[in-house]
Structure 1
Amino acid sequence: MKRFIPLKKYSLYITAGLMVVIIITLFFLFAGNRESGNERGKLKGNKDIQVTLEDKQEKNDNDSSSIFVEVKGAVKKPGVYSFQSGARVEEAIRRAGGFTSKADTLDINQAAKLEDSMMIYVRKRGEIERATQTQTAATDIPSDIEKSQAVNVNQADAAELQTINGIGPAKAEAIITYREEHGEFQQIEDLRNISGFGEKTIERLKSELTVK
């Protein structure tokens, strides 16, 4: 019986050794899996960050390519609209609801490219003519004022006549003398009857003198 005791003793040592080996193996396996999981998590995190940065960059690129254009005048929906760079005027008109029935499209180049901060104004038919007439009327107003400010040779005294460039004291007295002797002037050209008033002088004074 005593011969079996050492064998039993060794079997205990072997069993204990196997358990230690198993524990160590499991430890390294667990540590390896944990490290691998951390590495995969880190790679995934880096990938997510990269994707986020790429999306953000793409969004910024899209925003930088956007332009804003105002469409007004004879369109159905005037307003400010955003477009991608390279869009055409035709698209802006379409976004604004299209032309109204009164639109004058002659000066609208619908094939032109849009630019940021651009303003597209569609005139109504006849608007140019009305603007021209208004401008002409406005131009005529100073002429009426000038006529009202012209010196009346039939009523002005010597001092008033001398305010006209080219009429001095001698010519002023000559005009008054002629008026007293022959009556009122019927037209500015009657000044040629006075010495010192030639054709060129009278032509120049027409805008500054009146007989009314």
Structure 2
Amino acid sequence: MPMYRKSLLILLLIVAAVAGGTYYGCYTQDKETIQLDAAAGSSGTQQDLPEVTVYVTGAVNKPGVVTVRDGARTMDAVNACGGLLPTADSGQINMAQVLKDGQQVRIPEKKGESAAANKQTAGQSSAKNAAAAAVVNINTASAEELDTLPGIGPAMAKRIIEYRETEGSFAAPEDLKKVRGIGEAKFRKLKDKICI
């Protein structure tokens, strides 16, 4: 009889261990399945979110058409375009505005930063733009052409023309220093941009 009890006790221990192991295995497998379902559900909801497509132009690093999640803000679209340029005037745009599908977002540049804006606001003629890029002949240049030179404003351009009319043409670029208001320092800035 004692042998029978020992065998029965060992058998019960083995059955309990097998049952415990089976229960543990099923429990962890169910837990992993629940975690995988939750992960698939959360990624599925992210993929199923509606999207909006907007066109971002102006002072951003990579202007173009971008797609962002529905409910995204202007800031999200700007970041999708590589962020703002240093010349961007971010104070002129509402970065917290909710975007709508098909919307155009234009990021303006600071006044005076854009060459196109400079041309429009200053009302420069094409002759003045060409003169700014080329060397200016101080004997034949108009007041507008002289005004394109560094340090020469409308008043100084008028003085140069008056000097030219009263004293005659300049014989050398250095003769420009004879005009009242043009000293050595100002002439150094001009000497590579002028000719006779």
TM-score by length of 2: 0.43
Q: What is the TM-score when the length of structure 1 is the normalising length?
A: 0.41
